[in-house]
Structure 1
Amino acid sequence: MLGETTDDDSNNEPNPTQTAAGELADAIRTTLGPNGLDKMVVGENGTVIVTNDGSKIIEWMDITHPVGRLVEQAAAAQDNTVGDGTTTAVVLVGALLEEAATLRSAGLHPTTIIDGYGRAVEAALDQLAQYERGLHSRQDDRLTQIAKTAVTGRWDDASTDRFAELTLSALQAIGFDRSRLTLKSYPGGELRESVCLDGVLVDLETSSTSLNTLSHPRTRTHDEPAIAMVDAEIGIEEPNNVESVELQDATQRNAFQAHEQDRRTELVEQVVQSGVTVLLCQKSIDEAVRTALAQRGVLPVERTRRDEFDVIARATGSTPVMSVDDLTADDTGTVGSVTQRTVGTAQTLVLQGCPEEHRATLLLRGGTPHVAEEVRRIVADCIDVTRVALDDGVFVPGGGAVPTALAMDLAALSREIPDRTQLVFDGFGTALEALPRTLATNAGTDPLTTLTEIKQRHDAGAETVGVGPDGHPRDMIDAGILEPAAVFRSALQRAVAVVTQILRVDDVVRTSTNERTADGEHDHAHAATGGYPWAVGH
């Protein structure tokens, strides 16, 4: 029969390329779902990271096998595209490869499996539409449930609610335009202290601005300040070429110093006369000029990050100039207020009430630097998932309800297939069931019993039943466990694409670094990324 292999025993041996991908799937399988466990990743320098974020775990792992890198790239693409579903995609890759190995043992040729997987995923995506539900508007309460689902299992229940609240309030504040939202996380506080600020927060820790200078009482808060922006150094101009000045006596030295002082005074007067109360410089400000400005009631901030500099210019209506000499009142912009604020041990400036471009900043807190960074990652994922759901306009019940329903649909469709491709459809469905089985296993319940009960309830018409947070079958819509349809759709497509690519590989051929490619160019080996030494596929 077409697609069958011979009885060669080599077809039954484990494929090393599939084994490498399966090891990666097994490594993060236990992180899936609300009861997923964390991974402790230890860096070569002793840095310890604890998280259950599948995308970050894979990013930090030192993956040595080239097939493992293919899975890593697919996971990164999944995370960059929809912000979630990385673990789902990798678990599906492992399950599909496991079923492919079983099918090969049954005598099916890889090309037959590849063709069957392609037909099966098309059928599954067609069936997916009947399980999708529509979102009504940006004020739909189910957006909050989608946000909570994205966070569930990564923190306690109270924190999950807080994450969702912060996410929705921030997105609503800027009209769901993610480009106008900034995330800042600082250690030394608790999650409940996190707030959504109306405006832009500038971290002074990234500049060399003197904190003693900025602590002057007259520069602590400004209401409706005039904001000027200079995109060059402020101070005594230095010559481009190496030059020397020879001073003959004390009179010449005093004259030289007086000249420099006059130039500094001129710069300060130019700023003051233009009515500026806050001066942001993208480069350095002469220390004497900075001190004089602060004494005259002007708040000087130097070495502002380029991205923040550009954002502030747009939001305040300021026109950056290349020299203080060119600065006039027409170049200044304004905001509702500028406040110096200490967050933990960090000094910041908060520009609130931006008139030209409405901005918002999520100020996030965590007890330690690691926790603060984890909070930022969770909120970023929560924002991405909420945005994807709103853009796509549809969601599906979570908890493995949809994979189970699709597996049952494929089982029904396979009965109508006259050739051995029906075995591939059945194997594809079994791979989909790996998701609810994993959720049940991670919750400490018997996966076979749980999956059997879910299927029985689906047969009775309850197609939204999945694995609940306690590991037992539950209606996902009633439980508020919802996820964007785009996340599962993308994970399924990427998993099949990677598995198809892997199934076409029968061996890994290594070449030396000085080997030339077909077009005559040197094909250099993949350079070490310096990742954490959790190697897969040595």
Structure 2
Amino acid sequence: MSDVARSPLREAERKADDAGEPAPTPAESARALAGTVRSTFGPNGRDKMLVGSDGTVVVTNDGARVLDRLDVEDPVARVLSRAVRTQRARVGDGATGTLLLVDELLSAAASLVGDGYHATTVVEGYALAAARARERLPTHELAVGASDGERLRSVAKAAVTGRWDDAAAERFAGLAVSGLRAVDFDASRLDLCAYPGGELRESALLDGVLVDTDTSSTGVEDGAVEGPRTLVDARVAMLDAELTVETPRGTGSLGLNGPEELDALREHERSVRTEAVRTLSEAGADVLFCQKSVDGAVRSELARAGVLVVERTRRDEFDALARATGADPVMSVTDLARENLGRADEVRRRTVGTADALAATGGAGESRATLLLRGGTPHVAEETERIVEDCLALVRGALRDGGVLAGGGAAATALAGDLSSHARAVGGREQAAVEAFADSLEAIPRQLARNAGRDPVDALVELRTRHHEGDSTVGVGRSGALREMVEAGVLEPPSVLDSTLATALETVSAVLRVDDVLAVDAADGPGSDGGSGGAGGGGSGAPPRSRATGGYPWAIGH
């Protein structure tokens, strides 16, 4: 479901202006920004409708994607938006959870400062708590490896849950894990191609490289002579230059004295074209991929000789084909020899939806694979590709970490319990900040319960009791009831929560260390745009301002 509502921060600003009250504090700005995406969190997250000034409408429940499209002027909100982008760039997930944790930490800090604690003390206490939580994180991990297909699929499903139905989540997860396995979990050898005009169930894993000859500048010969559509055990030539008759560069003129010289010029051009065709034929090439253009007459002659010509091959596709087929690209067709050729089990021209493509499968070089993704509309196809990218990032993260954590807020609750116990051993005034950090971690299961329609207080009390009894992998299920998350297959890479803790600490520390926001002229330096982590990054008393530029409003809420 999706609704359109006013921006929480804009509303707070308007009310403050109307009443002549001070502008929202950093904690209030954080609460308003978090409120923008709070309802998108978890498997029961609702959608946001992003409405552009030009009428463009995008519906999504990806919190990071929502914030990416907001033009934020409030300094605190800008710092938080950067934190979300940092979290997404680091691990590919956890952006909304990071924002929720930052919101809770700033709110708790405001209460502590109001009780007489110095901001520096709060920051030091938070740093102790974050260090302890990150140190204890490995004790809650479950081992995972490349052979643990079921757990890897569960990790991938975490990126889909709440965005598609269960059947689609299974399909996405299967595609992601199968694709990575096909390339020995080397994502650099796995390509994604999304095409509209089909259903998700039509998505497939292809062995090899898929060249887009429709939406890119790539072209297959389309003259009067049509080349072969399918070649088996194809020999592949690759030319990293133009294949044409050279013409004079710059200004100038060519004078011809009589028809004999004109005939000689035409004969020269024919001989150049004939030599190019002969060289390719003698080398045994079945397919020619040219990075630039190919002379029309040469294309026709090669098509008559049974050679498939693909010109203006996009650079990334050109390089991928060279690695997949084992071909050695040459700079001139005269340099081409048989040993420069690569090989593919099959090169086939095909139609995907309404688009033309060319698939080269079973190459003699490095193993490569392509995930061919389908969606009913261009928007759905693009969303499909983004979801698979998230799935791949999570699976790779789990393998890099060598373990997984129980999801559903289970790991966060376990860390919160550990910190509460550890706080008693912390001396000095920092103890209160450590306890506040522990309480803030429970914002994750609390929001999951709220979005599932359950009373968050009741859910949190029951969850604490279960963890106190030793059920450390129990979390909030999709229905709002508590479930054993490992058995339910709700898992996530440890790096997501670890990065959430690190990013939240960095962001909150940057805001709490600021005691004033000063407006400076843009000519004073590059830091005058708000900066990150410095005085321009955020602080109390800064009047929040937001405006919709680039076609998107400040916030879309429920």
Q: Which moved more, 1:201-210 or 1:416-425?
A: 416-425
- Match of 1:8? none
Which residue among 480, 502, 505 is the counterpart of 1:496? Answer: 505
**Is 1:23 the counterpart of 2:42 in the alignment?**
no
1:439 corresponds to: 448
Contact 1:214 1:294 in 2 (8 A): no
State whether residues 63 and 534 of structure 1, in contact with CA within 8 Å, keep that contact through their aligned partners in structure 2: no
Q: CA deviation at 1:214?
A: 10
Tell me, in whole angstroms, the C-alpha distance in 2 between the residues paired with 1:33 and 1:502: 27
- Which amino acid counterpart does residue 155 of structure 1 have in structure 2? W
Residues 183-227 of structure 1, C-alpha deviation per residue, up to 9 Å, x if partnerless?
Answer: 1100000000000001111111212525634993x5200011110
Q: Is 2:222 the counterpart of 1:212?
A: yes
Please report how far the alpha carbon of residue 316 of structure 1 lies from its aligned counterpart in structure 2 after TM superposition: 1.1
2:492 maps to: 483
Cα-to-partner distance string for 1:124-167 (whole Å, 9 max, x where unaligned): 22332322211255334211221222221110010011111111
Residue 462 and residue 526 in structure 1: after superposition, are their counterparts in 2 closer, same or farther (change >3 A)? Answer: closer
Give, as a single letter, the amino acid of the residue that structure 2 aligns with 1:260.
E
| 1:237 paired residue number | 246
Q: 1:13 Cα deviation (Å)?
A: 7.5
Q: In the alignment, is the contact (CA less than 8 A) between 1:182 and 1:362 conserved in 2?
A: yes
Mapping 1:134-145, distance limit 5 Å = 134-145=143-154
| Post-superposition offset of 1:31 | 1.2
The answer to whether the Cα contact below 8 Å between 1:150 and 1:483 also exists between their aligned partners in 2 is no
Q: Verify the 8 A CA contact 1:62 1:532 in the aligned structure 2.
A: no
Q: Compare 338-347 and 292-301 and name the one that shifted more.
A: 292-301
In the alignment, structure 1 residue 533 sits paired with structure 2 residue 552: yes
Inter-CA distance 28–357: structure 2 relative to 1 (3 Å threshold): same
Residue 374 to residue 214, structure 1, CA distance change in 2 (3 Å): farther
Map 1:99-498; keep pairs closer than 5 Å.
Answer: 99-205=108-214, 206-210=216-220, 212-213=222-223, 216=226, 218-498=227-507
Which amino acid in 1 is paired with 2:428?
D
Q: Given residue 509 of structure 1, which amino acid in structure 2 is its aligned partner?
A: L
CA distance in 2, matches of 1:245, 1:233: 23
The residue identity in structure 2 corresponding to 1:405 is A
After TM superposition, give the deviation of residue 361 of structure 1 in Å: 0.4
Give the Cα separation in 1 of the matches to 2:97 and 2:207: 36
Distance in 2 of aligned mates of 1:181 and 1:529: 37
Identify the residue that residue 4 of structure 1 maps to in structure 2.
none
Greater CA deviation, 390-399 or 137-146?
137-146
- Structure 2 residue matching 1:81: 3-state secondary structure: helix
Q: Which residue of 1 is the match for residue 515 of structure 2? A: 506
Deviation readout 1:240-290 (Å, 9 max, x if unpaired): 332211345555444433432332233222222221110001111122222
Per-residue CA deviations over 1:413-452 (Å, capped at 9, x if unaligned) read 2234453322212221221111111111111111111111
Is the Cα contact below 8 Å between 1:200 and 1:352 reproduced in 2?
yes
Identify the range of structure 1 (343-352 vs 127-136) with the bigger mean alpha-carbon deviation. Answer: 127-136
Cα gap change, 1:480/1:525 in structure 2, threshold over 3 Å: closer, same or farther?
Answer: closer
What does the per-residue CA deviation read over 1:386-437, in whole Å, with 9 as the maximum and x for residues that have no partner?
A: 1110111111110011212222222222234453322212221221111111
SS in 1 for 2:552: strand
CA distance in 2, matches of 1:529, 1:337: 51
Moved more, 504-513 or 316-325: 504-513
**Secondary structure, counterpart of 1:125 in structure 2:** helix
Q: Secondary structure at the match of 2:554?
A: strand
**Distance in 2 separating the partners of 1:173 and 1:274:** 32
Under a length normalisation based on structure 2, what TM-score does the superposition of the two structures give? 0.88
One-letter identity of the residue aligned with 2:552: P
Q: Indicate the larger mover: 103-112 or 194-203.
A: 103-112
- TM superposition shift of 1:321: 0.8
**Structure 1 unaligned regions, length at least 5:** 1-11
Distance in structure 2 (CA, Å) of the matches to 1:265 and 1:284: 17
In structure 2, list runs of 5 or more residues that go unmatched: 1-20, 532-546
Letter paired with 1:151: V
Letter in 2 for 1:148: K
Partner-residue secondary structure (3-state), 2:408:
coil
C-alpha distance 297-393 of structure 1, shift in aligned 2 (>3 A): same
Pick the aligned partner of 1:56 from 51, 61, 65: 65
Aligned-pair CA distance for 1:22: 3.3
Tell me which residue corresponds to 2:3: none
CA distance in 1, matches of 2:490, 2:499: 19
Partners of 1:440 and 1:471 within 8 A in 2? yes
| Residue correspondences, number | 519
- One-letter code aligned to 2:503: R
| Bigger shift: residues 262-271 or 25-34 | 262-271
**CA–CA distance in structure 1, aligned partners of residues 53 and 311 of structure 2:** 36
Q: Match for 2:444: what amino acid?
A: L
- In 2, the alpha carbon distance for the partners of 1:65 and 1:250 equals 76
Distance change >3 Å, CA 14–CA 126, structure 1 → 2: farther
Q: Report the CA distance between 1:17 and its aligned residue.
A: 3.9
Rounded to whole Å, the distance in 2 between the matches of 1:198 and 1:214 is: 32
Q: Does the CA contact (< 8 Å) of 1:64 and 1:535 recur in 2? A: no
Residue 44 of structure 1 and its aligned partner are, at CA, apart by 4.0
Structure 1 residues 212 and 82, CA, compared in 2 at 3 Å: closer, same or farther?
Answer: same
Aligned equivalents of 2:259, 2:314: Cα separation in 1: 42
Take 1:386 and 1:230, find their aligned partners in 2: how far apart are those partners? 37
Amino acid across the alignment from 1:226: R
The structure-2 alpha-carbon separation of the partners of 1:267 and 1:136, relative to structure 1 and needing over 3 Å to count, comes to closer
